[in-house]
A and B are shown apart, each in its own frame.
Chain A
Amino acid sequence: MQATTESLTADRVGALDKPAAVRVPQPYWNPYLAGFGLGLVLLAAFVIMGRGLGASGAFTSLVAAGANAVSPEHAKANEFYAEYLGDGTKSPLMDWLVFEVLGVFTGGFISGVLAGRVKQTVEKGPRVSVGTRLAFAFVGGGLMGIGAKLARGCTSGQGLTGGSLLNVGSWAAMMAIFGGAYALAYFVRRQWQ
């Protein structure tokens, strides 16, 4: 109880010298309500565009554009980059998923500001240092980058989109995602619990 009061006071003091973004955060939405909203956005993407949501593909376009900037010959010779570069008539960054992910950053920020949750911090459990946590974040991101390419998408593209289209590879990938995470959870528990 003492600790709670102290941290609340600390937040209030912080609120005085920072703009409205720092205040007591609102509780998260009911998961079914948030999921329903997310489902409607996904349905809108199907109806309007004929494709679903994604995330990892946007970062691949970014990497392909980077490789092309560093060495166009090297990028063109690599089938993987070449697929994202297209015929070279337009920038790989003028891509649907790139603009969609720019929207994700924007929408996340808008929601965070409205709920008072925008705060410079590191998400971690109490028993791990910031340095260790950031090292794990980098390694986890790296594995996710490689995995997303082999799986042809990530939790968004395969899980949400492919899942709701009853796509076979998507359901296999989604079960493997949960299976892999549960299998490893015990070994990295100190980072979170």
Chain B
Amino acid sequence: MNAPFFKFGLFGDNVSLIMAFLIGIGFGFFLERAGFGSARKLTAQFYLTDLSVFKVMFSAIVTAMVGLFYLSWIGFVDLSLVYATPTFIVPQVIGGLLLGFGFVIGGYCPGTSAVAAATGRIDGMVYLAGIIAGLVAFGEAFPMVKDFYYATPMGQVTLPELLHLPYGLVVFLVVLMAIGGFAGATWVEKSMAVKKGTLRA
């Protein structure tokens, strides 16, 4: 059997929407389990008191990245059929900065605000309304920002291609970086707790 299943025609568009719903349930479930329905838990990342955002994000990235690497290596998944967005480097960095501002000002990102709203957080619901307003503003202004939106195209490019390194080596380096990051994050959390007097040195 070959994967991705949908790309090999194992099921059609209608079934893909059912898959979407089921996969979304898993996504929302684990976000909520991690505590990401709470803006205070999420933003603690940026005050260094609780680095769960980094820990959860990078354990998820490492799990999916390593899993996909091995499934592709044994020939089960055709990696070239897994969709990744093409790179437009400058607008994406500016967009990323705006996302960061929106995250620390509003307390959520789109996925986590959905979980917050679903678990009764009024601020999560208002945040969703803000996203809609932002998208309408962007949509209406699109003719004016179009040139910038398509600026600095780099095509569909991965880090191994950009750095001329083997795919497996970059996977390994990201895993090492994540493990180092986890140890660093735990150390930072402890130091902050000692500083705040909630933990004795």
Contacts and interface: CB of A to CB of B under 8 A. Distances in A.
Contacts of A120: 120, 122
A124 B104 contact: no
A50 B68 CA distance: 11
B74 to A, nearest CB: 12
Given A99-B21, A156-B111, A192-B43, A51 B83 contact: yes
B142 to A, nearest CB: 4
B154 A169 contact: yes
B134 to A, nearest CB: 2
Interface string A30-55: 01101111111111111111111101
Given A142-B133, A160-B61, A166-B167, A155 B174 contact: no
Contacts of B89: 168-169, 172
B92 A152 contact: yes
B83 A169 contact: no
Contacts of A39: 59-64, 67
B27 interface: yes
Contact of B87 (A50, A137, A168): A168
Interface in B84-125: 84-89, 91-124
Contacts of A168: 87, 89, 154, 157-159, 161-162
Chain A, interface SS category: helix
Interface in A106-138: 106-112, 115, 117-125, 133-134, 136-138
A112 B167 CA distance: 38
Interface string B122-140: 1110111111111111111
A71 to B, nearest CB: 11
Given A99-B17, A155-B111, A121 B149 contact: no
Contact of A140 (B87, B102, B111): B102
A14 interface: no
Interface of B: 3-7, 16-35, 37-41, 43-47, 52, 55-65, 67-68, 71, 76-77, 81-89, 91-124, 126-140, 142-143, 146, 148-149, 154, 157-162, 167, 170-171, 174, 182
- 3 A-B pairs with least C-beta separation: A140-B106, A103-B24, A141-B130
